[in-house]
Structure 1
Amino acid sequence: MPWKGDEIKNQLIICSREERWKSKISRNLKTNFSARINCPTRIYVHILKDVGLWTIFKVVLNYSHPCCPDRVEILKQYRELSIFVRRTIETNEEAGIKPNKTYQSFVAAASSHWDLSFIEKNVRNYITREVRNVSEQDDAKEFGKYLLRMKEKNQNFLFELNLEGDHSIKNAFWADARSKAACKYFGDVVSFDTTYNTNRYNLVFSSFVGVNHHGQLTLLGCALVKNEDIQSFKWLFECWLRCLGRNEPKGIIIDQCASMQRAIEMCMLTTIHQWCI
């Protein structure tokens, strides 16, 4: 395989206990052991340009800790939760027992952290991904109920939902009383940002932001958008203008998105839009 200039030329293989883990938690209060102790062991490899083969050119085996091949299951790729552990986690979660207490019960039964094939983070991840996993439609219903509760607490809380046929969220907009008041005074020039993305349903989080008289950023509204197309942005801009009951802003700053630009031209006829740097 001939070597190419844009391919990886060097690789560094380090020990899993390389560097020093910095934590604000007292050592006596930690439930997870610290594995990183500045181990200098490493292997340097690079590719031969002519033949395209990897070769080892330097090896450092100065371990700063005892090597324990029998503890390999502690490495991330070897950690696992047995069926018994999973059932216990599910039972404790249903009973309202906190994840750290659940993990401590496993530690107490095994007599040591080192006698477990997982750490507390694996317990928390299992609870988040499996035990508390609900459907997208259920999440949409709960989100709608939450917005209604906020509306009941304060009638100046504003929101609009746009649901798809299966009742999942397509678009959502909300703004509290403070955002509504701030928009009245600081909504002449607005920055609209869509550079945030949720991990679970790929709904893009969008925010309307202004600047107050102290030079501080102030939130003027929030939204979740499923598709970054003209119709979605048009729906969102119309909701923002309608809910906050104000005229179009004098200027709006956006990123270089053609769909966003076209939606602004359709909804804000007198607004000057500029691209951010």
Structure 2
Amino acid sequence: MGDFVLTTVNLEHNHDLIPTNSRHFAINKKILSPVKRRLEINDQAGIGVSRNYNSMVVEAGGYESLTFDERDTRNYIERPRKLRLGEGDSDALQKYFLRMHAQNSSFYYMIDVDTDFRIRNLFWADAMSRATYEEFGDVFSFDMTYLTNKYDMPFAPFVGVNHHGQSILLGCGLLSSEDTDTFHIMKKIPEKLKGYSQYESMKMDLQNAVYDTFTKDKFEMKWKEMIAKFNLYEN
């Protein structure tokens, strides 16, 4: 293949520049934090990427008013759905978990992957945490406010309280996003209740208790009503 030699440069444009098209340049593309939050909320509500993006277009008053396009929207929404691990981190993580389990068989861990076998979520609990949970696991908090870590992922500690009123760590997780798929909120329903003849009614009442109550007292009331309605005291 021969060499090319540049002999002439013409710096005059043969068409007018359109200032609004500058939004397509990579250096000008950005999604502001409030918009990111709106996109995430819509995505969690089951709104597809196209409809999600179009709603932003309508709200902004047209395509030219946005500093991102539909592909940027898709990339942003799909990015949090897997852990943003660096090269070699996945192998190092798995080796660490295996080493901890070899040292103590009570060390428990779970790695959740997507269809392409990319890590989405992690959970682990050491022997001490598991033993402590047996004694003080009746009530615990699941705090999602720890967002400042190396991979910009929600860190989720499970924290309980012992008989001295001290906080105790019962387990830890790293999550790729904060949606119902990540938390697996209702995943155990079929496993626990499928054998009952009134399963569908039970499922509906339980979903109402979990998703349609916004205070502790209201949830407790709905929960007790469901237990009594279906005689689930022994379950």
Give the TM-score of the pair, scaled to structure 2: 0.42
Bigger RCO (CA 8 Å, 6+ sep): 2
Identify, as 1 or 2, the structure richer in strand: 1
Identify, as 1 or 2, the structure richer in helix: 2
Task: Find the structure with the greater CA-based Rg.
Answer: 1
Give the TM-score of the pair, scaled to structure 1: 0.36
